[in-house]
Amino acid sequence: MEVLLVKETDIRRSVSLDEAISAVEAGFTRLAAGEVNLPPVMSLDMPEVKGEVHVKGAYINGSESLAIKVATGFYDNPLLGLPSGTGMMMVFSARTGFPQALLFDNGYLTDVRTAAAGAVAAKYLARKNLEVAGVVGAGAQGRYQMMALGKVRAFQKVLVYDLDKTRLDSYVAEMPEILGVDCVAAEDVESVVRESDILVTCTPSTEPYVRSQWLHPGLHITAMGSDAPYKQELDSSVLARADLIVCDHRGQCAERGELHHGLEDGTIGERQEIVELGDLTSGRHPGRTDEKQITVCDLTGVGVQDAAIATLAYEKAVQGRFGSALEI
Average pLDDT by stretches of 10, the chain with 328 residues:
96 97 99 98 95 97 98 94 94 98 97 98 98 98 98 98 97 99 98 99 97 99 95 97 97 95 88 91 97 98 98 97 92
Residue 269: per-residue pLDDT? 76
Residue 273: per-residue pLDDT? 86
Answer whether 214's CB lies under 8 Å from 208's CB.
no
pTM, two decimals, is 0.95
CATH number, position 208: 3.40.50.720
How many domains would you assign to the chain?
A: 2
Residue 272: per-residue pLDDT? 77
10 and 102, same domain (yes or no) = yes
297 and 318, same domain (yes or no) = no
83 and 159, same domain (yes or no) = no
Q: CA-to-CA distance for 159 and 117, rounded, in angstroms? A: 21
DSSP assignment of 260-289 equals HHHHHTTSS-TTS--EEHHHHHTTSS----
289 and 311, same domain (yes or no) = no
* CA-to-CA separations, 136 to 36, 44, 89, 178, in angstroms, rounded: 32, 26, 27, 18
Helix axis angle for 140-152 and 165-179, nearest 10°, is 30
Residue 271: per-residue pLDDT? 64
Answer whether 160's CB lies under 8 Å from 183's CB.
yes
DSSP 264: H
Residue of 56, 69, 157, 316 marked catalytic: 69
In a domain, 116, yes or no: no
156 and 274, same domain (yes or no) = yes
In a domain, 115, yes or no: no
Residue range(s) defining the domain that contains residue 206: 121-301
69 given a catalytic annotation: yes
61 and 94, same domain (yes or no) = yes
Residue 328: per-residue pLDDT? 87
* CA-to-CA separations, 232 to 33, 70, 228, 326, in angstroms, rounded: 29, 22, 8, 42
Answer whether 136's CB lies under 8 Å from 209's CB.
yes
Task: State the virtual CA torsion across 282, 116, 41, 44 in degrees, nearest 10.
Answer: -170
Of 215, 26, 27, 3, the residue nearest 92 (C-alpha): 3
Q: CA-to-CA distance for 63 and 176, rounded, in angstroms? A: 39
In a domain, 163, yes or no: yes
151 and 56, same domain (yes or no) = no
